[in-house]
Amino acid sequence: MVAPLYKLHCLLKRAQMLLLCLGIAYLMAGSILLLQRSSVRVAQPNLASLPPLLSLAAPPTALRTVGLGVRARSRWAAVQAASGGGAKIGRHWPASRSLGVQHLHRRWFHSLLPENPEQRVSLHRSSRQKGTYIGCFLHNASDRALGGTMLYDLRKMTSSLCQDTCSESGYQFAGLEYGAECHCGNRISSPRAPEEDCSLVCRGERGSPCGGVGRLSIYKVEEQLPGHRKFRNVHYRGCFKLVKNTIGTFPIYSFQPNLTSQSCIETCTDKELPLAVFKKPHCFCTWMSSLFSLNQQLDNQQCVDDTAMNHSTASTPSVSIDNDHYQVYHTPVLDSRCKERMFLPQRSSSLVALSSFPGAGNTWVRHLIELVTGYYTGSFYFDGTLYNRGFKGEKDYWKSGRSICVKTHESGQKEIEMFDSAILLIRNPYRSLMAEFNRKCAGHLGHATDAQWKSKEWPEFVSSYAPWWASHTLSWLKFGRRLLVVHYEELQQALLPQLRLITAFLNVTLTEERLLCAQTNQDGHFKRSGAQRPSFDPYTPDMRQMIDSFIHTVDQALQNRNVSGLPQEYLPR
C-alpha cells in the first residue's frame, strides 16, 4: 500500500515541476517578444516641433462596419439592437437612449488624432504614379499652393486617386496634404518648401510623398492630346443673347478657326473659369453672373442657325461677334463662391430634419443643399467617411442649431417629435433597397457583387427593410409637424425648381449664383455611379408582390395628407 502512494506522490511532484517550468518558459517568451517589438518601434517625432494646423484639424479615423453592419449612431463603434413597435418592424438599427451621454462620447472621440499621422515615407523611393512629381510647396492661410477643388479621404487616399480626381475635374496639378487631403488647381501660387516637410504617408498607399502639415506634395497630372480630355461635371447651360459691349468685358478671349465646343471648354478650364461662351470661331471665358440666368435662355435653334450662318464668314473675329447668340457651357471648374460654406452665423432654435429611408439619396440631397445655401448640413449620426469627404456637419452635435438641416433615418414617434419641421425625401423602394444594400456591401460609392446579390443576405435584407420603407414615410406623415415631401425622381428631372422649393422651406434667401453652383456641380463626389448593376433581376415575384403592396399603402397615405402621390414610375397602375 505504501509503494503505490509513494509513486503517486513522486508523479505529482514531477507534474508540479513540469507546470512550473512551462509557466517560466511562457513568461520568458512573452518578455522576449515585447523586447523585440520595442526594439523595432520607430521613435515618435516631437509633436510640439511641428507647425500648427491652420485651417482644418486632422479628421478622425472613419468608423466602418464590416459586411452588412449597421450605421453607427454615436461615435462609438458598438452596435445595439433596436427596440420598438410598428414603425420599426423587421429592421435592426442602433438605438440611442441618452443623448447627453452620446454628446460626451462625441466630444471624446473627436479629441483623438488619426492613427499614426506622423508615419513617414522615404523621400528616395521610386514613384509609381502616373503623373510627374513636381515637389513640395507651402499651403497655408497666406500661401495657398492650389486654389481649385478639394477632396478628403482619410482611409483610402492615394496619389493616383487625387490625380484622377483633378484630371476629371479639368485641373493640371494635384496636391496632397497631411496624407488624406487632395487639392487641385491649374496654377501653383506658393513658394517651394523643403522636401523633408512633405514626408507623410498616404492613407491608402505607401512609397510616395503625400504632403505634410501645411505642405502639399504636388504632381503634374498626365497630359492628354487636345480634344481628348474627358471632364466630369460639364453641363450645357443654354443659348443666350449677348450684346457686343457685354462680351467685351469677359476676361479671356480666344479666336480659333477650327474651334469646337470641346476645345473652348478646355481653354476655359485651363484658365480656371467656370463658364465657356462659345460660337465658332470665338471662345470667351468668364465667371458666373446674372447674364446667364434661367429666364434669359433662348431656343437653342437660334444658336445653331447663327453658327451655320457664320460658318463661311469665320475668317475675321468681328463678323461673328456681331451676331449675338452664344452657346454657354459650365466647365468642371467650381466657382470660388460655390466652395464657401459655413455653419449658421446664429444658432437656430428650430431643428429641421432631412429625413429619408436609407438608400433614398440623403447624401446627394445634402450635397445639393450645402451648395445652394452655403451652409453645412448636420447628422443625427456620425459617418466618418462622409466627414472625411467634406461633410463637416457630421462632426457637430446634431442638436447644436448650427446646421441648416439634420440628416436622419429615424421613424419612431419620439425621434420625429424632436424636430420642428422636416424635408421628407422619398425614393422608389426598388432603387432604395438596392442602393442601401450596395452601401452595406461596398460603401457609399461602391457596388455589391453578383455573389452578394445571390447570397441569403439579400432576401433577408428585403424582408427586413421593405416594411421599414413604408413605415418610415407613414410615421413621418403621422407625427411630423411641418413637412415638405420631395421625391428623388422629381429632383433628378427638375433640379432647379425643386431646389427653389427646398430653400424656401428652409427660409434661406436664394441667389442666382448659388443656384448655378448646384447645377454645375450637381453630382459632386457623393453620388454612386449607375453604370454597374447586377447581371440579373435580384427581385423575386414574392418580393415584388410585397413591395408593391407597400407602394400602394404609402401612395394612399400621401394623398390623404393632401400631398401629391408617388410618381407613376414606382408601380404600373
Q: Rounded mean pLDDT of the chain?
A: 74
Tens-digit pLDDT profile for residues 353-369 = 999 998 898 999 999 99
Instruction: Please tell me the total count of domains within the chain.
Output: 3
Tens-digit pLDDT profile for residues 508-522 = 988 877 887 787 777
How far, CA to CA in Å, does 76 sit from each of 109, 116, 390, 439? 8, 20, 21, 20
Same domain, 178 and 290: no
User: 533 is in which domain, residue-wise?
Assistant: 352-570
Of 164, 186, 221, at which residue does a domain stop? 221
What is the C-alpha to C-alpha distance for residues 391 and 362, in angstroms, rounded to an integer? 12
Of 177, 197, 221, at which residue does a domain stop? 221
Note whether residue 43 is domain-resident. Answer: no
164 or 419: which leads in pLDDT: 419
Note whether residue 375 is domain-resident. Answer: yes
* CA nearest neighbour of 76 among 50, 110, 47, 49: 110
Most confident of the following: 145-154, 156-165, 289-298, 426-435:
426-435
The pLDDT of residue 155? 64
What is the C-alpha to C-alpha distance for residues 175 and 211, in angstroms, rounded to an integer? 8
Note whether residue 384 is domain-resident. Answer: yes
Of 221, 249, 281, at which residue does a domain stop? 221
Same domain, 528 and 452: yes
The pLDDT of residue 473? 95
The pLDDT of residue 447? 80
Same domain, 213 and 241: no
| pLDDT reading at 39 higher than 50 | no
Cell of 226: 487636345
| pLDDT reading at 527 higher than 80 | no
Beta partners for residue 283, in sequence order: 254, 278
The pLDDT of residue 254? 87
Note whether residue 111 is domain-resident. Answer: no
Note whether residue 309 is domain-resident. Answer: no
The pLDDT of residue 150? 72
Q: Are the CB atoms for 107 and 149 separated by under 8 Å?
A: no
Q: Are the CB atoms for 465 and 505 separated by under 8 Å?
A: no
| pLDDT reading at 556 higher than 70 | yes
* CA nearest neighbour of 181 among 133, 206, 230, 146: 146
The pLDDT of residue 513? 77
Same domain, 420 and 555: yes
Estimate to the nearest angstrom the gap between the alpha carbon of 430 and the chain centroid: 23
Same domain, 146 and 177: yes
Note whether residue 492 is domain-resident. Answer: yes
Measured torsion, CA atoms of residues 123, 127, 131, 135, in degrees rounded to the nearest 10: 10
What is the C-alpha to C-alpha distance for residues 98 and 187, in angstroms, rounded to an integer? 50
Most confident of the following: 1-5, 97-101, 228-232, 491-495:
491-495
What's the rounded mean pLDDT across residues 25-43? 55
Same domain, 420 and 559: yes
Tens-digit pLDDT profile for residues 296-352 = 666 666 676 555 545 444 444 443 444 578 888 888 777 766 777 899 999 998 999
Same domain, 173 and 282: no
Note whether residue 32 is domain-resident. Answer: no
> Among positive and negative, which fits the CA dihedral 132, 135, 137, 139?
positive
Same domain, 212 and 244: no
The pLDDT of residue 60? 34
Same domain, 429 and 526: yes
Interstrand relation of 483-487 and 421-426 (parallel, antiparallel or unpaired): parallel
Kindly report the CATH number assigned to the domain that includes residue 485.
3.40.50.300
Note whether residue 257 is domain-resident. Answer: yes
Same domain, 458 and 480: yes
83 or 516: which leads in pLDDT: 516
Same domain, 538 and 507: yes
Same domain, 439 and 468: yes
The pLDDT of residue 228? 55
Longest dimension (CA), the chain: 127
